[in-house]
Chains A and B, each alone.
Chain A
Amino acid sequence: MSENKKGAKYFLPACLAAIVVSVLISGIFFIQESLMKMMREERSNQLEEMVTQIQANLDSGLHTHWNLVSGLNNAIQGNHFVDGNEVFEMIAHLENDFCTNLYGSRVMLLDEQGTAYLSDGSAGIWYDISHLLDGEKRHTFVSETDTIDGSFMVFSQELDSPVTMGDNNLRFTHVVLLKDIRTLKSYYTTTTYGGNAATYIIKKNGTMAYFDAQDDIIGARNVYHALEDAEYVQGRNFEMIRDELEQEGIVAADIILNETEYYYCLTSLDDYDMTLMLVIPADDIAVNTMNMMNSAIMTETVFISAMAVLILLAFYSLMRVQQSSQEIKLEQETNRELNRLRMAAESANAAKSTFLNNMSHDIRTPMNAIIGFTNIARKQNPSPEICNCLDKISDSSEHLLALINDVLDISRIESGKIRYTPSPIDICDVSDSVITIMYGYLSNRDILFDINVEEPENRYVMGDAVRIREVLVNILGNAVKFTYDGGRITYMVSYHEGYDEKHIRVRYTISDTGIGMSEEFIGHIFDEFSQEEYGARTQYKGTGLGMAITKKFVDLMGGTIEVKSTKGVGSTFIVEIPLEITDCCDSGKKTAAVDHVNWNGVKLLLAEDNDLNAEIATVQLEELGIQVERAVDGQQAVDIFAGNAPGTFNMILMDVMMPKMNGYEATKTIRGMRDREDALTIPIIAMTANAFAEDVQASLDAGMNGHLSKPIVMEEVKKTIARNLNR
């Protein structure tokens, strides 16, 4: 699957997860925002409630002052004072009678010139007298001058009836109650706000008339202008606030002043033409609600976060499952692909094996004919010229056969068909057989062959005699090939301790005084088809596969092979093979000495579909004195066997690849003949161009007793027959 496709597969769940998480996060924000909005409303409501309460208290408290003023008006109306002193006394008397000190208030009388009279005997022009000129009878405002020390809430009432003084009847126009503005706070409390609440009384034009706070939060004479300039949290502005105040009579808002969030609430004190404002830091309003809200938000956030995490995990798991499913699917596909490839490979291998088998069979079969008839011809006393030709045919045939064998071996090794299957062997026998072979190689050469073979403590080991022999023969064969006459070949066998008591290492050292190898070639000696250039290829014939096969066999057996060589001096090969010691060796009964076998009376059934091969085998066997009856296929072989009395045939030589019924089936059929006493005992030897080990195994599996590869070598044929004859 391509990366793009993979990405596309994850895209949808990832998007979904992202959307869900986004929704959850948005949800958190939405909830937070909603809660904060509710909080703002709660705070505003609390503030409005508070201010309404303050307003009610103030209204009530201030209204009391009007009652006082009315009482004062009634008390002094119609009076005439002789002089100012009488006025002062009267005012003091009134203050005492009306207990104005309880209200934090003073009584003041105003004459027509604007002179204010107070109980302490002071009289002066009242700066704020201009407030009383609009024709209204009652006025309330805040007065702050330097002539009357302090700030006062003024309750002024025009006198109902004339009050005069002196001979010229100076007229008093107003009775005024000056209420110390600081006493306004007795009508309300803001302590619930941590002492951080500020109360402002604002004149109609926005000018601050009074504020009661530890700090002047607004910090401006014109409160409205400051509120206009403030930053509003809820996207409102002061114009909207004023409109709302106008319509509702009370309004609360949330502002940022000096980087601090405040709530303020304005309410009209209509009777006094002023506005009351309460300003409180946001943190001090609805603290418990806020704490609860924060806890709720926190809990909610944690919960939603957990939800988000769980959902993410779920998505993750889902994706993982999907991914696993995909991976499994992918793995299955891969496995299927691998299986397919394996099967294809196996099929190819099988095809290759089949091809190799076929090739082996198809080449060996004519080779069998060539070699066989060459040998036959050689026995017909040919002329020297013909004999020379036959020798060349024989050499070429053998070379071709060696070439075929090597190619087949290397292919089979690489395909893993050749497996190391150690079995109990007599290691000395191996060495002996090699020496025997060497003698054959050296029969027509003038080379000194030194043998130095140790006697092992225990000659029985688990090993593969065939492979060991092949390795040694390959090396010795090369030594013969590359050593000039007059040279020397040394063959040494020694035994060494293995990695434990149960193992030994057999070391074969093969030295020659041959042409030697260059250092460069030594590095490539075990490569396939590697042959050092000697100028004329034909001088030393070979496939270039021998040492490669040798190395692979040594490796297969867990051994090592070492090469030392000097060009022009000679070469030394050291092969070490680890072998497990065993107690005995059942390598089979000793082969009878074929030269002493009396072949007379021996009758064989030869199953061979190829006429040439049949003729060659027949001719050569009959030369030994053996009677041969031929069957042209497996079925006929079965029929002939069945058609003859038990003991008629001493042995059956069975080709494998035959029409109608192949050799394996024919063997099985014969072995399956319950009514024949010799069905299981008659030796059946495969004689086939199928020369591989698995072919040998297949023959044995089919119930055969031995295997002869084509082209047949009569010596081998004689040995095999001799070994298997039941006589």
Chain B
Amino acid sequence: MRKRIACFLMSLLVTVTILTGCGTADSGSIVNNGTQKEKVVVACWGNQMLDTYTQYLCDLFPQVEFEFVLATNSTDYYRFRGEHDDMPDILSVRRFALKDAVLLKDDLYDLSNTELANTYYGSYLDSYTYDDGSVNWLPTCAEVDGIIINKTLFDEYNIPVPTDYESFVKACESFEAVGIRSFVSDFSADYTCMEVLQGAAIPDLQSIEGRKWRQQYESGAVHELSEEVWKPVFDRFFDFVKNTGLGEEDADYPNRTPKEMFTEGKAAMFRGTGADVISFPGRGNDEVLLLPYFGQTEQDNWYLTYPTFQIAASKKGMDDPEREKLILDIMTAMVNQQGQDHISYGKNMVPYKKDVTLELMKEMDNLKPYIEQNKLYIRLASNEMFRISKDVVQMILKGEVTTSQQALAAFNTELGSVEPGLEIAAHVDTGYSNEFTKEHGNQAASSIANTMRALSDVDFVFMQACYVASDIYAGDYSQKDLAYLAKNDGGWPGLMELTGDQIYTLVETTLSMTGNRGAVCNDSTLYVSSGFEMDITKDDNGYTLNVLTVDGKELDRSKTYSFLIYSDRDWYMSEVMEQIGISEVDMSGPKAENYLMQRLVDEGEQLEAPTDYIILR
């Protein structure tokens, strides 16, 4: 009898051990180098966070095995994750509107009871407080958005730096007269469309009527643009388009084009942020300034602003006090002085927190009086506002609508219609996890990389695995949700021809890179390879490449291969290209989400199966 009981207890123990996941990596903790580490999934709103911010978190919390994923910059992306019961532990998003965020309220942790919430200026936090007093999201510092000018270029052509809208128009005319584009922007990006549309008419939007309408819109009381407020906004935008010479071709300018024109001295002004001032310093030694959106008088000038990003925590797992404390500690580290220094480079941001001080860089000196006067317009940034602004602005640029009344009508039409792309468009038969394992790497990323290689007909694909934002869930997908698997602003394709030696250099450079948006800070940010395998050693100093193989045989160093990189374009690719000594890169190819659409929607086929592409020692 005793034997039976012992057997029963042993079975029970084994069962419980298996069920509770003892001895295996579970969702809460994983064994790494024999040490139990707490696993925390952080969804990054953009690849800016992969620069030094993720490394900062890894260094600060060595007891945590972070899994970073590059999320689509939308609260709706988290709706998609929530529907698959796969909410990340910590969420971040740049595009934020309380009316969008409230849809996630049931899945998110209420921060209103935390000391963290108390460190914010009360009035600012009111914007994040629901009617019942709950607070899910906390903002980091504010990004400032305006018109970046190449002052050196202005000086070269003796064109006065504008101080109001009229002088801005004159400057535009002057530059156009000398064959330099006065103002360019990437109107293929929805945020540019929305920000320029709003930025050009901030005094109208800040009027009493404008504020009243916004309050009603954000509270859900109204669902269309007020003619009283918005017709003048469109009037100003039409005027802006006319005076800056924007046209149909500008509608499709990708992000890179206007910035290249600016850095090449072919354009005098472009819409950009404080971060862009750092990233695109003109022709090298040019003096670059971030100016406000101009009003009729200088008093009417405004900068446009928005939090760099907001963070929230999933409610899941927070009933465990230890985990709750850990998550809150990480969130605190994300928004405290040190964390915000990593976001803002310490110089281009405005803090919302009482305990954070950020020093503005010299190029933003002219921002200071605006900060003092709080002439900082917070963009209206609901998801639909992004989407429809792009549609309507492009219509305007393309001449499809020619009057403000038509634009207003078009806008309101879309506001009143169902968002396209929500119907089921594809089905995934086999799901894959995007959790990195030493045995198989990131299987979801491998599947997508293999699919990209198959569709692009290249020898190799090399992609930062965290650009795949989530597991590939088996099941039905709308086009919108399908894109969420790998859609982000930071990922760009770079097609090039590389020798085996150059590939070695590229991989080695990638693994040793720091302070770069393509840097590897932990296993989850390693790259996935398709067509070749990587043998890598990990130690306290980071990752070291041992050998690259193709089907088990070492890569032919002398042979030339077609090579598709999918990662950050401006920071990562520029550095590796420099390291491997090439300049010819075709970045016109489709982005990752387009490959997914092609394979699953257009072709109706399945994604390629993942391969074991990495040996991590």
B18 at the A interface (CB under 8 A): no
Given contact pairs A222-B133, A222-B134, A225-B133, A122 touches B110 in the complex (Cβ within 8 A): no
CB of B215 within 8 A of CB of A127, answer no
CB of A221 within 8 A of CB of B207, answer no
Tell me the smallest distance from the CB of A137 to a CB of chain B, in Å: 14
Given contact pairs A115-B373, A147-B374, A129 touches B114 in the complex (Cβ within 8 A): no
Interfacial chain A residues near B125, Cβ < 8 Å: 207, 221
- The CA-CA distance from A147 to B124 in the complex, in Å, is 11
CB of A221 within 8 A of CB of B114, answer yes
Interfacial chain A residues near B351, Cβ < 8 Å: 146
- The CA-CA distance from A225 to B132 in the complex, in Å, is 9
Interfacial chain A residues near B456, Cβ < 8 Å: none
1/0 per residue, CB under 8 A from B, across A197-218: the answer is 0000001011111000000100
- Identify which of B42-50, B85-93, B115-123 touches chain A: B115-123
Interfacial chain B residues near A130, Cβ < 8 Å: 211, 215
For B206, give its contact among A114, A144, A224, A225 (CB under 8 Å). A114
- The CA-CA distance from A67 to B373 in the complex, in Å, is 29
B490 at the A interface (CB under 8 A): no
A124 at the B interface (CB under 8 A): yes
Tell me the smallest distance from the CB of A152 to a CB of chain B, in Å: 10
CB of A112 within 8 A of CB of B207, answer yes
Interfacial chain A residues near B131, Cβ < 8 Å: 205
CB of B133 within 8 A of CB of A205, answer yes
Interfacial chain B residues near A145, Cβ < 8 Å: 121-124, 374
Given contact pairs A145-B121, A225-B113, A205 touches B373 in the complex (Cβ within 8 A): no
A219 at the B interface (CB under 8 A): yes
- Taking CB as reference atom, which chain A residue is nearest B117? A221
Interfacial chain B residues near A219, Cβ < 8 Å: 115, 118
Tell me the smallest distance from the CB of B554 to a CB of chain A, in Å: 59
Tell me the smallest distance from the CB of B293 to a CB of chain A, in Å: 14
A273 at the B interface (CB under 8 A): no
B292 at the A interface (CB under 8 A): no
For A125, give its contact among B113, B121, B376 (CB under 8 Å). B376
- Taking CB as reference atom, which chain B residue is nearest A145? B123
For A133, give its contact among B111, B114, B121, B212 (CB under 8 Å). B212
Interfacial chain B residues near A451, Cβ < 8 Å: none
- The CA-CA distance from A128 to B127 in the complex, in Å, is 10
- The CA-CA distance from A115 to B131 in the complex, in Å, is 27
A612 at the B interface (CB under 8 A): no
Interfacial chain A residues near B206, Cβ < 8 Å: 113-114, 125
CB of B114 within 8 A of CB of A123, answer no
1/0 per residue, CB under 8 A from B, across A281-312: the answer is 00000000000000000000000000000000
Interfacial chain B residues near A127, Cβ < 8 Å: 123-124, 374
- The CA-CA distance from A224 to B113 in the complex, in Å, is 9
CB of A205 within 8 A of CB of B208, answer no
A38 at the B interface (CB under 8 A): no
A616 at the B interface (CB under 8 A): no
A142 at the B interface (CB under 8 A): yes
CB of A221 within 8 A of CB of B373, answer no
Complex interface residues of chain B between 448 and 465 (CB less than 8 A to chain A): none
Interfacial chain A residues near B124, Cβ < 8 Å: 127, 145
CB of B208 within 8 A of CB of A173, answer yes
CB of B211 within 8 A of CB of A133, answer yes
B129 at the A interface (CB under 8 A): yes
Given contact pairs A113-B203, A205-B131, A221-B135, A144 touches B122 in the complex (Cβ within 8 A): yes
- The CA-CA distance from A134 to B216 in the complex, in Å, is 9
Interfacial chain B residues near A122, Cβ < 8 Å: 372-373
Interfacial chain A residues near B115, Cβ < 8 Å: 219-220
Tell me the smallest distance from the CB of A218 to a CB of chain B, in Å: 9
B126 at the A interface (CB under 8 A): yes
CB of B113 within 8 A of CB of A205, answer no
- Taking CB as reference atom, which chain A residue is nearest B110? A225
B95 at the A interface (CB under 8 A): no
B437 at the A interface (CB under 8 A): no
- The CA-CA distance from A142 to B208 in the complex, in Å, is 21
CB of A113 within 8 A of CB of B372, answer no
CB of B112 within 8 A of CB of A222, answer yes
Select the residue from B111, B113, B135 with max chain A CB neighbours within 10 A.
B113
Number of A interface residues in the complex (CB < 8 A): 38
Select the residue from A122, A129, A225 with max chain B CB neighbours within 10 A.
A225
A627 at the B interface (CB under 8 A): no
For A205, give its contact among B120, B129, B203, B207 (CB under 8 Å). B129
A126 at the B interface (CB under 8 A): yes
A151 at the B interface (CB under 8 A): yes
Interfacial chain B residues near A129, Cβ < 8 Å: 211
- The CA-CA distance from A273 to B374 in the complex, in Å, is 27
- Across chains A and B, the number of contacting residue pairs, with CB separation under 8 Å, is 106
A226 at the B interface (CB under 8 A): yes
Interfacial chain A residues near B118, Cβ < 8 Å: 208, 216, 219-221
For A123, give its contact among B111, B134, B212, B373 (CB under 8 Å). B373
For B114, give its contact among A114, A203, A220, A224 (CB under 8 Å). A220
Interfacial chain B residues near A114, Cβ < 8 Å: 206, 208, 211
- The CA-CA distance from A225 to B133 in the complex, in Å, is 8
A429 at the B interface (CB under 8 A): no
Interfacial chain A residues near B212, Cβ < 8 Å: 133
Tell me the smallest distance from the CB of A358 to a CB of chain B, in Å: 77
B375 at the A interface (CB under 8 A): yes
Given contact pairs A114-B206, A130-B211, A207-B126, A224 touches B133 in the complex (Cβ within 8 A): yes
- The CA-CA distance from A113 to B300 in the complex, in Å, is 9
Given contact pairs A130-B211, A133-B212, A205-B129, A225 touches B373 in the complex (Cβ within 8 A): no
Select the residue from A122, A147, A209 with max chain B CB neighbours within 10 A.
A147
Interfacial chain B residues near A115, Cβ < 8 Å: 373
Interfacial chain B residues near A650, Cβ < 8 Å: none
- The CA-CA distance from A134 to B376 in the complex, in Å, is 22
CB of B374 within 8 A of CB of A207, answer no
Interfacial chain A residues near B113, Cβ < 8 Å: 220-222, 225-226, 229
Complex interface residues of chain A between 98 and 137 (CB less than 8 A to chain B): 112-115, 122-130, 133-134
1/0 per residue, CB under 8 A from B, across A622-657: the answer is 000000000000000000000000000000000000
- Taking CB as reference atom, which chain B residue is nearest A116? B374
1/0 per residue, CB under 8 A from B, across A513-555: the answer is 0000000000000000000000000000000000000000000
CB of B121 within 8 A of CB of A144, answer yes
Given contact pairs A151-B122, A226-B113, A124 touches B375 in the complex (Cβ within 8 A): yes
CB of A209 within 8 A of CB of B112, answer no
- Taking CB as reference atom, which chain A residue is nearest B122? A144
Select the residue from A127, A142, A216 with max chain B CB neighbours within 10 A.
A127
A143 at the B interface (CB under 8 A): yes
Tell me the smallest distance from the CB of B55 to a CB of chain A, in Å: 29
CB of A220 within 8 A of CB of B112, answer yes
Tell me the smallest distance from the CB of A342 to a CB of chain B, in Å: 64
Interfacial chain A residues near B134, Cβ < 8 Å: 222, 225
Interfacial chain A residues near B132, Cβ < 8 Å: 205-206
1/0 per residue, CB under 8 A from A, across B82-115: the answer is 0000000000000000000000000000111111
CB of B375 within 8 A of CB of A125, answer yes
1/0 per residue, CB under 8 A from B, across A389-411: the answer is 00000000000000000000000
CB of A207 within 8 A of CB of B215, answer no
- Taking CB as reference atom, which chain A residue is nearest B129? A207
- The CA-CA distance from A209 to B126 in the complex, in Å, is 10
- List 26 interface pairs A-B (beta carbons < 8 Å), by A numbering: A112-B207, A125-B373, A125-B376, A127-B124, A127-B374, A130-B215, A133-B212, A133-B215, A144-B122, A145-B374, A147-B374, A205-B131, A206-B112, A206-B133, A207-B125, A208-B118, A216-B118, A221-B111, A221-B114, A221-B120, A221-B125, A222-B110, A222-B134, A222-B135, A225-B110, A225-B134
Q: List 16 other contacts, CB 8 Å, given A143-B123, A208-B122, A225-B133.
A: A122-B372, A124-B374, A124-B375, A125-B376, A133-B211, A143-B122, A147-B373, A205-B130, A220-B112, A220-B114, A220-B118, A221-B113, A221-B135, A222-B117, A225-B110, A226-B113
Top 5 A-B pairs, shortest CB-CB distance: A222-B112, A124-B373, A206-B133, A144-B122, A205-B133
